[in-house]
Amino acid sequence: MTDTGTARDLSVAMTAADPDYLPFHPAPSKPAFRPPEGAVDAHCHVFGPVATFPFSPRRKYTPVDAPAETLFALRDHLGLSRNVIVQATCHGSDNSAMLDAIARSGGRARGVAVIDVDTSEAELERLHAGGVRGVRFNFLKRLVGDAPKGDYIRIAERIAALGWHIVVYFESHELADLEPFITSLPGTIVIDHMGRPEVEDGLDGAGFAAVQRLMASDPRFWIKVSCPERLTVAGPPYDDVVPFARRLVESFPDRVLWGTDWPHPNMKSHVPDEGHLVDMIPLIAPTEDLQRRLLIDNPMRLYWPEEEGA
Ligand code: 0GY
């Protein structure tokens, strides 16, 4: 790995990844914005390496290897301190790659797992001991098959005893159908990627309005202001997405999280530069107080509550 001073070589050998899937940026820029000491990347993934941690036979895409050491090199390059590693669908409910990464992070990573309804009690304890603090329910049909709602409810009941929260991934146009169900779930619920609003509909579009209404009406809901690279219509530098993230940060300053979404699975239009994603932070959280809550106070409260304020 070479450090050019302005960019960092993060390229890895390609696995047999989908040919139309773009690998992550090989040399992200050094951001001009310096995140405050202790900043958390609260949404990122590790993939493989496939030779050690095979992908799920039921996966809907095959990404490039995105191993823990590359994630940690990126964390340091961007000036971040910690990671929350979210289990992605390509690894199914085998959380081994994520657990291995957390174990090698020196306490600087925690995780959000995917589990099955019949995952054993001993396995849940093992995941908790390994740093898992949440479970993810993914409702995107291009990523997962339909799971019975009863399974999700049973999982939610089981993880409540561990103090975990639930992360939900949906597209905002599906919220009307999903809302009665997700509001019936117990405990804290974190919405991925701003609820995936239709950016072309503007801040007053129906989907984003529904997401904001839900956030305003139920204080159990949190939201990630992540993933401009997928939401944008205009493309980089994602100016069209900034108002959405800023609206959420200013409206719900104590229930927002930020993350890179590295290594950006399923990106086909362009390769995001994580240095630029960090440089967007002062645009979406314009004051030091908002930045501290977004990057430190909120993720610490959810993922490292035992260290909060320490
Ligand atoms: C993300 C987004 C995507 C993929 C997954 O679990 C996943 O496979 O979440 C996507 O394709 O939008 O958060 O990584």
Query: Which of 58, 169, 223, 268 has the most ligand 1 atoms within 8 A of CB, as the residue to mutate?
Result: 169
Pocket of ligand 1 (CB under 6 A): 45, 88-90, 138, 143, 169, 192, 230, 261, 265-266
Query: Which of 143, 225, 229 has the most ligand 1 atoms within 8 A of CB, as the residue to mutate?
Result: 143
Q: How far is CA 270 from the centre of its chain?
A: 19
Cα 88 to middle of ligand 1, angstroms: 6
pLDDT value of residue 3: 39
User: Strand pairing partners for 222?
Assistant: 190
Those residues whose C-beta lies under 8 Å from the C-beta of residue 148, and which sit 6 or more positions away, are none
Q: How far is CA 219 from the centre of its chain?
A: 20
pLDDT value of residue 10: 56
Picking from 263, 233, 272, the residue whose alpha carbon sits closest to that of residue 61 is 263
**Global pTM?**
0.94
**Whole-angstrom distance, CA of residue 305 vs CA of residue 185:** 22
pLDDT in tens, 75-103: 999 999 999 999 999 999 999 999 999 99
Cα 17 to middle of ligand 1, angstroms: 15
Q: Which residue's structure tokens are 């001009």? A: 32
Rg (CA), the chain: 18
**Whole-angstrom distance, CA of residue 203 vs CA of residue 209:** 7
pLDDT value of residue 147: 82
Picking from 76, 97, 77, the residue whose alpha carbon sits closest to that of residue 86 is 97
Q: Check if CATH label 3.40.50.2300 holds for domain 3-18+34-305.
A: no
Between strands 109-113 and 132-138, the pairing is: parallel
Cα 35 to middle of ligand 1, angstroms: 25
Cα 186 to middle of ligand 1, angstroms: 24
Domain boundaries, the chain: 3-18+34-305
* Total Cβ atoms within 10 A of residue 196: 22
pLDDT value of residue 2: 35
- For the CA of 226, the closest atom of ligand 1 is 13
pLDDT value of residue 17: 79
Q: Whose CA is nearest to atom 13 of ligand 1?
A: 261
**Mean pLDDT split into 10-residue runs, the chain, 310 residues:** 49 62 94 98 96 93 95 98 97 97 98 96 97 97 87 95 96 95 97 98 96 98 98 98 98 98 95 98 98 98 87
Query: Within the chain, how many helices (H) and strands (E) appear?
Result: 12, 8
pLDDT value of residue 145: 83
- For the CA of 61, the closest atom of ligand 1 is 8
3-state secondary structure 2-53: CECCCEECCCCCCCCCCCCCCCCCCCCECCCCCCCCCCEEEEECCECCCCCC
Cis amide prior to 265 (ω within 30 degrees): no
Q: Contact 12/65 with Cβ under 8 angstroms? A: yes
User: Strand pairing partners for 224?
Assistant: 257
Question: Could you list the active site residues?
Answer: 261
pLDDT in tens, 246-294: 999 999 999 999 999 999 999 999 999 999 999 999 999 999 999 999 9
